[in-house]
Amino acid sequence: MSTVDVTGVTAEAGPAPVPDAAPGLREDTPASRRPGAARAWLRLLGSEAGLTFRRPRNLAVLAVLGIIPVLIGVVMRLFAEPIAAEAADGPGNGGAIFAQITGNGLFLTFAALSVLVQLMLPVAVAVVAGDAVAGEAGGGTLRYLLTAPAGRTRLLAAKYGNAVLFCLAAVSVIALSALVTGLALFPIGPITLLSGTTISFAEGLLRIGLVVLYVTAGMAALAAFALALSTLTEVAIGAIAATVVTVIVIQVLGVIPQLAWLQPYLLTQWWNEFDGVLRDPVAAGEMGQGLLVFAAYVVIFGSIAWARFTGKDITS
């Protein structure tokens, strides 16, 4: 027995054939549990990230997310007075946050996130997470990844890890763009929280960091849902559209008073809870509960994605 050696690398890369002694016990994959398996997985994750962040479509999505805070900032700067007056008129709908921007540039970050978290950000996440498996299946590349062999569980984990990275990147792009715009166009200084307490600029930055992490966690929960849908189809756009439609339907369900009992279980309701960071004391209880809800979504839809993907016939 010999091997094709196109490489000049003579060392046997794979493990030696295992003796037939206990074939029945050879369930899943010793390869993924070897030392160095973690490093190999990180290489796969790096490859996923490289693909995601080199893909023109995804870059365009990130660019759009980055431009919107700039637009909000410029509009606020040019037409600040009428908008602020109008915003103050609408009680309880959060419009007042826009009025705050003109007073403190840091508020642009919170205002931009509170606008984008409703739909734009979920759409961006759906584009990447919904595409994750369905896109590879549709393009036929999934069969080559699996015969490489990437390993189904391992590949799915890398796909999800990459989706979470994208969530973080998308939220960070919004936050950074808003921060830079806010600093350039508006005065900076100590920040007044929603509770009327004032904190220093540095602590304001810290709280922006907390918001970024919380919103990322919320988006990661959506990514798990989109990934589960992605394993059900070979048409990426189908998984993406289904995710976006679901988000919209849930948003609608969330405002119907007869369904108030449902609200604590709806993902979208918890995304908005990031404003707890702007209270004094920080509404850790609500946000902690939000994180638990996100974790529940990740566990349920992650396991559905796993059960589906590991048992699926790859016929594309």
For 189, other C-beta atoms within 10 Å of its C-beta total 14
CB of 195 to another protein, least distance (A): 6
CB of 240 to another protein, least distance (A): 18
Q: Which residues pair with 198 in a beta bridge?
A: 192
Q: Which residues pair with 199 in a beta bridge?
A: 191
203 binds another protein (CB under 8 A): no
State residue 278 phi and psi, 5-degree precision: -90, 10
CB of 25 to another protein, least distance (A): 9
Q: How far apart are CA 115 and CA 120, in angstroms?
A: 8
Q: For 273, which DSSP code? A: G
- Measured from the CB atom, the residue of 7 and 78 that comes closer to another protein is 7
Q: Site for another protein (CB under 8 A): which residue of 75, 206, 245, 260?
A: 260
161 binds another protein (CB under 8 A): no
CB of 244 to another protein, least distance (A): 22
Site size with another protein, rule: CB under 8 A: 103
Q: For 160, which DSSP code? A: H
**x/- letters, 220..259, toward another protein (CB under 8 A):** -----------------------------------xxx--
Q: Which of residues 279-308 bind another protein (CB under 8 A)?
A: 279-281, 283, 285, 296, 299-300, 302-304, 306-307
Q: Which of 49, 47, 69, 71 is nearest to 59 (CA)?
A: 49
12 binds another protein (CB under 8 A): yes
Residue 6 structure tokens: 């196109």
Q: Determine the longest span between alpha carbons in the chain, in angstroms.
A: 82
Q: For 231, which DSSP code? A: T
CB of 170 to another protein, least distance (A): 20
- Measured from the CB atom, the residue of 130 and 138 that comes closer to another protein is 138
CB 289 within 8 A of CB 208: no
Q: Site for another protein (CB under 8 A): which residue of 129, 145, 170, 277?
A: 145
Q: How far apart are CA 282 and CA 120, in angstroms?
A: 26
